Chains A and B, each alone.
Chain A
């Protein structure tokens, strides 16, 4: 079983739609959680950290459920520019600084 699992998609949605991505992680001791965005042939870029209480950044809302070991990302009012791969990322803690990435969920926003 992979440490971080995501639905690879692709999710094809029209502009203006709301889309949600989910992710599960296997290590219950994980301490930090992030969503990164990666455009084709580019490096991953930090989209947002995910906090236990849930957090919002403009059109993006992230939530964490520690009991279910589940992380979500909600994108409202999708833009063409949101088309990318979204990577769910976990730091397993215990003194480790390495990030563990899911394989990513591909989003294609269509006009």
Chain B
């Protein structure tokens, strides 16, 4: 079946701009996660949704980052006033329940110039 999909696959923006990254989880998966991966590092947790609600947003680095999942399926990660340090691969994962294995999408490569 279809895996997790993410759009766009690449995004180049200028410092100070606003970006939105989209994640389409595996159909039927109630849990959705956002991670960020910098070069040479493992992914770092940002936020976890169970259904429509953010069950854990402890990984969001600051208030420029925000994520929504209004209908419990597709999620959007929003970054305001982007900074060069935001450049990374943003990975989305989903799982059938909160305790099931997590399956990752291909990621969005964000480059802030």
- A residues near B (Cβ < 8 Å) are 4, 8, 32, 34, 42-46, 49, 87, 89, 96-104
Contact = CB atoms under 8 A, between A and B. Distances in A.
Contacts of B40: 8, 103
Contacts of A49: 101
Interface residues of B, number: 26
Interface centre among B41, B43, B59 (most CB of A within 10 A): B43
Interface of B: 31, 33, 35, 40-45, 48, 50, 55-56, 58-59, 91, 95, 98-99, 101-107
Contacts of B42: 4, 87, 89, 101-104
A49 B100 CA distance: 11
Q: How would you classify the secondary structure of chain A's contact residues: helix, strand, loop or mixed?
A: strand
B31 A97 contact: yes
Contact of B43 (A34, A45, A101): A101
Contacts of A44: 43, 91, 104
Listed from nearest, the 10 A-B pairs whose CB atoms lie closest are A101-B42, A98-B45, A43-B104, A97-B98, A101-B43, A103-B42, A97-B48, A46-B101, A44-B104, A43-B106
Contact of B59 (A45, A98, A103): A98
A97 B104 contact: no
Contacts of A103: 40-42
Contacts of B101: 34, 46, 49
Contacts of A87: 42-43
A109 B56 CA distance: 39
A87 B58 CA distance: 22
10 contacts: A8-B40, A43-B91, A43-B107, A44-B43, A49-B101, A89-B42, A97-B33, A98-B48, A98-B56, A98-B59
